[in-house]
Structure 1
């Protein structure tokens, strides 16, 4: 465990490259992103994600929860990922001690995490979201990374079949989005797509497109969510785009009896997804 290399300079070329991953332009160019914290690092390995390097605060030492994982995945060994149906995945992973200044430079938070990892962007086949009888969440211009991450987490919680990020959505690999998913980005297919092309393709395959509208005739509790469904959720302030609203087969409204004017999009998504799960699994 003490043979892990030590990085102390923020001027190191690799440190500069990792720090650049806080910027979407460089994430896209390099095909990598950063995950922060013990839970996300564990989740990445369990899902069989391509982890390039794990850096931890040299002053604090390697978190106890990761010691066995470090032994299993140091270069030259292999790791059995539990979430990958126990399939062995290659573990050519560097474990690196880093000075607090290095941790801070590569972190998207005010307080540097005890550990972060550099991971290759995830790959999801586009057709994975067309599972028979599936429930898919489609985001249309949801710009806040915290909202996008929370919706992905809720979709994972109810067992949805995937999430689609349309144009104008916050980047999946934005550090705040990644943190907000709490690891759920590793658990279900997530794709980025042009909704003007993808929504008609879903309809052709028998999926109902269901949006939200204040003018809807159905409440989310009277609508039948048991059919194959794509749930369309729009921008925080403007709602669904005109094209997505026009494509929708049906719209629903979440009834409110208190004095709140509205729910934010992540809260609304969670209400709708749990009603869909209740009908599909507990009705």
Structure 2
């Protein structure tokens, strides 16, 4: 087992770059995951764990460490190094270096005749993406597509706000054009959440193959999603404001779709 006791260690500096820069994560094909629950979901999602770093005075689950694959490097670090790397205020003393997965549309495996898919277009706030990934996991959605991404899937804020659900969902990333072509090719109905030419969301039938599409709160979906929709949908507002948080709106429509499917 290796030991690192200096925050100036060259490897630790490389890990800090992974934590801070999307460009480095894409270049190296690696990202960091902090916390035992999230790392357990990484394992369940069949990701390859390259390295585990742990601070022994904080992380004391030796059973977990003993079960780590022989292909995974274990590194003991001290508090100074851990605090340098730790992203969250509440710490558990364990960080994993994980290999990124392929998130192309070709990587998606749809096993149902009537899959339910969530599409997020151009969402900028990692917290909203993470919250919607939690909804997707809770509803056991078949796939999540991120169209025209503004950040990478392994942004630390997405991992944190999704509580590890970024590892439990099938996720594909592409342009709006690519995703629309994919949905049309698979005969998947597109329900775009927008005010223009829309029906109230609960009127529609989501029991067939369906994709629910949401956009940013500020500008909504772009025209390509409005004109290519099977049907545009809206959630009627009954108060003074004319919209709600995108992650809340997503959950409302997704669970209506699940209700119609008898939660199957």
Pair in the same fold by TM > 0.5:
yes
| Structure 1 residue 251, shift from structure 2 partner | 0.9
Q: Which residue of 2 aligns with 1:56?
A: 54
Please say if 1:109 is aligned against 2:88.
yes
Among 3, 6, 25, the alignment partner of 1:6 is 3
| Conserved? CA contact 1:100–1:112, under 8 Å | no
TM-score (norm 2): 0.91
Which segments of 5 or more consecutive residues in structure 2 lack a partner in the other structure? none
- 1:43 aligns to what? 41
What is the DSSP-based 3-state SS (H/G/I as helix, E as strand, rest coil) of the residue aligned with 1:221?
helix
| 1:156 partnered with 2:137 | yes
Does the 8 Å CA contact 2:119/2:145 hold for their aligned counterparts? yes
Q: What is aligned with 2:30?
A: 32
State how far apart, in whole Å, the 1-side matches of 2:263 and 2:36 are. Answer: 34
Give the Cα–Cα distance (whole angstroms) in 1 for the partners of residues 60 and 223 of structure 2: 49
Matched residue, 2:168: 187
State the Cα distance separating 1:15 from its structure 2 match.
0.7
The alpha-carbon deviation at position 167 of structure 1 amounts to 1.5
SS of residue matched to 2:202: coil
1:40 Cα deviation after fit: 0.5
Match of 1:123 in 2: 102
| 2: CA distance, partners of 1:236 / 1:98 | 42
Equivalent of 2:215 in 199, 218, 234: 234
Q: How many residues align?
A: 261
1:108–1:176 contact (8 Å) kept in structure 2: no
* Structure 2 SS opposite 1:53: strand
Stretches of 4+ aligned residues off by more than 4 angstroms: 110-113
How far does the alpha carbon of each residue in 1:109-149 deviate from its partner, in whole angstroms, 9 at most, with x for none? 35555211110002356242554311111111001001111
Aligned to 1:82: none
Q: Could you tell me which runs of 5 or more consecutive residues in structure 1 were left unpaired when the two chains were aligned.
A: 76-91
Bigger mean CA deviation after superposition, 248-257 or 98-107: 98-107
Partner of 1:93: 72
CA–CA separation in structure 1 for the residues paired with 2:220 and 2:23: 27
Using structure 1 for the length normalisation, give the TM-score.
0.85
RMSD: 2.0
Match in the other structure for 2:18: 21
Partner deviation per Cα, 1:138-191 (whole Å, 9 max, x = no partner): 111001001111111111111111111112333210001011221222222101
Alignment match, 2:250: 269
Equivalent residues of 2:32, 2:95 under 8 A apart? yes
For the Cα contact (< 8 Å) 2:149–2:174, is it kept in 1?
Answer: no
| Partner Cα distance (2:56, 2:167) in 1 | 27
CA contact (8 A) 2:145 2:179 kept: no
